[in-house]
Amino acid sequence: MKIRIMYDNKPTYLEVPDEDCTVMIDMDYEDRLSCAEDKGAVTRRSPQEIMDERFNKPEYNNWHKFDRHRGMSKKPFRKDDESEDATDHMDYFPDNTDEVARDKKDEYEYYCEIIRAILKPKHSEPFIAVYLDGMTMTEYAEREGVSKSAISHRLDTAKKNFKKVFPESSTFPSCQG
């Protein structure tokens, strides 16, 4: 006798001797008979019915519980007179690029505020331009109309003054509270 067993929502067929099936049918009948209030309503079931109730249905329910939301997200509702949806489904994902840009700008302004509070403007502006904005010392020197060595000296002084306030480096993000 062939019995269908479901695994990962795929059927597998198992060949079982008829003698083993009669033992399974008798055990199932006795179990249900002992639990039933109306003994006359209990009948013998086929081996496939027993397997479906005990194994296949719970296995399917477990699979469905975890896998039902996988795959393509549901298409938006469309009326019958509208043409078929041919979009790339990017509408389903939120666009938070503006929020990320605002957060980066706020963080940049926060760091600039700290640097300007600690250092003099003569030292804070080259420090911000070189270390936060990524400008080279040569570019900043040309923009300000001074020599590169003067900018280098200002940056060294800024680093020394910064180390007086923050003697150890920290791996923790800044606290803005």
Q: What is the mean pLDDT of the chain?
A: 80
Look at residue 22 and tell me whether its pLDDT is greater than 50.
Answer: yes
The answer for residues whose C-beta is within 8 angstroms of residue 53's C-beta and 6 or more apart is: none
Backbone angles phi, psi at 48, to 5 degrees: -65, -40
Q: pLDDT (tens digit, 9 = 90+) per residue, 80-119? A: 555 665 666 666 667 778 888 888 999 999 999 999 999 9
Q: Is the pLDDT of residue 70 over 80?
A: no
Location of each CATH 1.10.10 domain in the chain: 97-165
> Quick check: pTM over 0.95?
no
Q: Which CATH fold would you assign to the domain 97-165? A: Arc Repressor Mutant, subunit A (1.10.10)
Query: Could you tell me the sign of the dihedral formed by the alpha carbons of 130, 134, 139, 143, in that order?
Result: negative
